[in-house]
A = this chain, B = another copy of it.
Amino acid sequence: MVMEKEKMMEEERGIVVAVDESEESMYALSWCLRNLLSQNTKGSTTTLVLLYVKPPLPVYSSLDATGYLFAGDVLASMEKYTNNLVNSVMKRAEAVYRDFNTNIKVEKKVGSGDAKDVICIAVERLGVDMLVMGSHDYGFFKRALLGSVSDHCAKHVKCPLVVVKRPKYV
């Protein structure tokens, strides 16, 4: 995880929104802006932290599951791919928050590792007041296999957690 330990100023309110490639996370961001930040007028001291978590690259073992060796250029192109993904997600997020006329401060953070652990650690280190995340409406089997990131965060973060469902019609 690449993230500096830093504590929000006490007079500031900090909100982390976990963003990823999904429509659900962009909806959660826009919901957060509408419902938690739109009433902020001048003198506002809210910092919105956009947190994206990259899956870890297979650096410890250069063998994939089927036993093929990853060549250096394959690893390099995988890294390029995830970096492009980060940029693309952050650009989409920017497009979402630029639509809102709020004078909030936006920070972007990129972590790397298992999303549910990285999110919990980041929330604690940043000392924010709220964590907002979208909810993927996985079916029973996918949820059983993957586990739910929001379930994990609800158990482990110490601040209030907002789980935003994306309505079917959006």
Contacts and interface: CB of A to CB of B under 8 A. Distances in A.
Contact of A162 (B39, B40, B129, B160): B160
The copy count of this chain in the complex is 2
B158 A164 contact: no
A160 B133 CA distance: 10
Contacts of A151: 151, 154
Interface residues of A, number: 23
Given A159-B165, A161-B163, 18 more contacts: A35-B36, A35-B130, A35-B160, A39-B39, A135-B154, A148-B155, A150-B154, A151-B154, A154-B154, A157-B165, A158-B165, A160-B162, A160-B163, A160-B164, A160-B165, A161-B165, A162-B162, A163-B163
Task: Pick the 5 closest A-B CB pairs, nearest first.
Answer: A39-B39, A160-B164, A161-B163, A162-B162, A154-B163
